């Protein structure tokens, strides 16, 4: 176990309808920034950020929304570490009449477009998905060449990539990127557990994925839905860091909606402390993650 465990809060995510199930899911930049600050006060050292269209609540890639969220957090004086997503832009669904073409709701775009907000806003960290996989209604497409292009652009901007791995093959690919020097410095991995149809959220799968990572890598893990808090405990026991948040889970208990990200962070902090570790502050997290 780590003496200091970093807690990240994933504030809103990119699913289409969670705000309709739980009204605590933030939609507007003001709401997302407020949730970030509240999560920091509850013990989160990192906030992971997607943005949503303010009128529809649907996931968005609009630069202005990212810009406003980041500005609000920075202007508040918060020391929380900002982690922006680069996941949008990888959804593909074939057109029903011509599967060689993308459907109207596919979001596939270039590497440059997917990291445009990273290059301009320069967060501390950004996600880098190491996965091509099936989601329930579309394919999530991240080909090795595109991953390498994005990794280069991200690191040239002085931002640390967080490699999101969803299964054992992704962990293997991520290790290869580190071994070949595509990922520079001490690598940071996020093990994503229980996402349909990736690695089920079990201790055995987390151990196998952790054991596949390159020697000396930093890692964290999360589980979705009812897996969230068991995976917090499992990651902390195995020497990793942890993530919770309304992106991953809408409930604080069975049938009881969470009141916000802060409530989920508070529960994670109690789990970490009950296992004998301490919750890392943002300053301590910066040292652990070797952020400039």
User: Hey, what are 126's tokens?
Assistant: 């950004």
pTM recorded for the entire structure: 0.96
Judge whether residue 292 has pLDDT over 80.
no
- What b/e readout covers 164-193, taking b as 16+ CB neighbours within 10 angstroms? bbbbebbbebbbebbeeebbeeebbbbbbb
CATH superfamily of 4-289: Aldolase class I (3.20.20.70)
The answer to whether residues 8 and 83 touch, using CB atoms and an 8 Å cutoff, is yes
Q: What is the pLDDT of residue 19?
A: 85
- Report the range of poorest mean pLDDT among 40-54, 93-107, 145-159, 232-246: 93-107
The structural domains of the chain, with segments of one domain joined by +, span 4-289
The answer to whether residues 82 and 9 touch, using CB atoms and an 8 Å cutoff, is no
Judge whether residue 215 has pLDDT over 80.
yes
Beta strands in the chain (DSSP E): 4-5, 7-10, 46-49, 51-52, 59-60, 81-84, 91-92, 125-129, 133-134, 139-140, 160-165, 188-193, 218-223, 241-244, 251-253, 256-257, 278-279
Between CA 72 and CA 131 the distance in angstroms is 31
Q: What is the pLDDT of residue 121?
A: 98
Judge whether residue 256 has pLDDT over 80.
yes
């Amino acid at each position: 176990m780590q003496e200091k465990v970093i807690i990240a809060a994933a504030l809103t995510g990119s699913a289409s309808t969670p705000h309709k199930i739980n009204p605590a899911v933030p939609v507007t930049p003001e709401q997302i920034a407020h949730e970030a600050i509240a999560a920091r006060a509850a013990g989160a050292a990192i906030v992971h950020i997607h943005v949503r269209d303010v009128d529809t609540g649907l996931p968005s890639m609009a630069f202005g929304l990212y810009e406003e969220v980041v500005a609000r957090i920075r202007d508040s004086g918060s020391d929380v570490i900002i982690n922006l997503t680069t996941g949008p832009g990888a959804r593909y669904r074939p057109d029903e009449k011509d599967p060689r073409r993308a459907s109207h709701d596919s979001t596939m775009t270039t590497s440059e477009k997917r990291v445009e907000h990273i290059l301009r806003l320069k967060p501390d960290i950004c996600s880098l998905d190491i996965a091509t996989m099936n989601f329930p209604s579309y394919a999530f497409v991240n080909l090795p060449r595109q991953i390498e292009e994005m990794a280069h652009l991200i690191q040239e901007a002085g931002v640390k990539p967080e490699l999101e791995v969803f299964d054992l093959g992704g962990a293997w690919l991520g290790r290869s990127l580190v071994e070949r020097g595509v990922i520079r410095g001490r690598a940071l991995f996020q093990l994503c557990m229980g996402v349909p149809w990736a690695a089920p959220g079990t201790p055995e799968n987390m151990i196998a994925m952790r054991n596949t990572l390159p020697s000396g890598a930093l890692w964290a893990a999360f589980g979705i839905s009812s897996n969230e808090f068991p995976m917090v405990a499992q990651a902390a026991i195995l020497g990793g860091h942890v993530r919770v948040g309304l992106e991953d889970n809408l409930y604080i208990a069975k049938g009881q909606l969470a009141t916000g990200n802060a409530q989920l962070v508070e529960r994670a902090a109690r789990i970490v402390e009950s296992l004998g570790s301490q919750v890392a502050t943002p300053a301590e997290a910066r040292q652990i993650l070797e952020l400039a």
